[in-house]
Amino acid sequence: MSYTTEYKLSDVEISLLEEIRDHAKKMRSLPRIDIFKACDLVQIDVELITPEILSVFMRSLSQAFGRPVNFSEAGARSLTWDEKWLVSVVSAVSRADYDSVNFLIKSAVQPVHQEQCRSLVSRF
């Protein structure tokens, strides 16, 4: 599968994107999580693994963005803005590129929720 639109993804990012889309599909039937409660949950349960933290983070994103989030179906060849943003954040964390993480958070997350987002993504 090739993602050769204007946004080129590595094989690792393609795998991450499909994981994100899988979480998004499962999230449709789950309630949203308040971003403050998400931070508390992640800090209390130190045994959470990265996919669980990603799921918790994704369930709080609409509050952080101040709008509904949009994810494509698995296998879709184009990416939504929200998918690009989330893949970029996770990739930046994996490279320990915290300048990019901070830029991405400041560019999309409401100021009142930026610190909580930093806290959550630092656990990826």
Average the pLDDT over 3-29 and give the result.
Answer: 80
CA–CA distance, 68 with 64 (Å, rounded to integer)? 10
Angle of the 50-65 helix axis to the 11-27 helix axis, nearest 10: 70
Q: Residue 76, SS3?
A: coil
CA–CA distance, 59 with 107 (Å, rounded to integer)? 19
**Tens of pLDDT along 59-92?**
899 999 999 999 999 888 889 999 999 999 988 9
Q: How many CB atoms lie within 10 A of CB 111?
A: 8
Asked whether 31 and 55 are in contact (CB, 8 A), the reply is no
Residue 85 CA to its chain's centroid (Å): 7
**Tens of pLDDT along 38-58?**
877 777 666 666 778 788 888
**Better-scored residue on pLDDT, 4 or 36:** 36
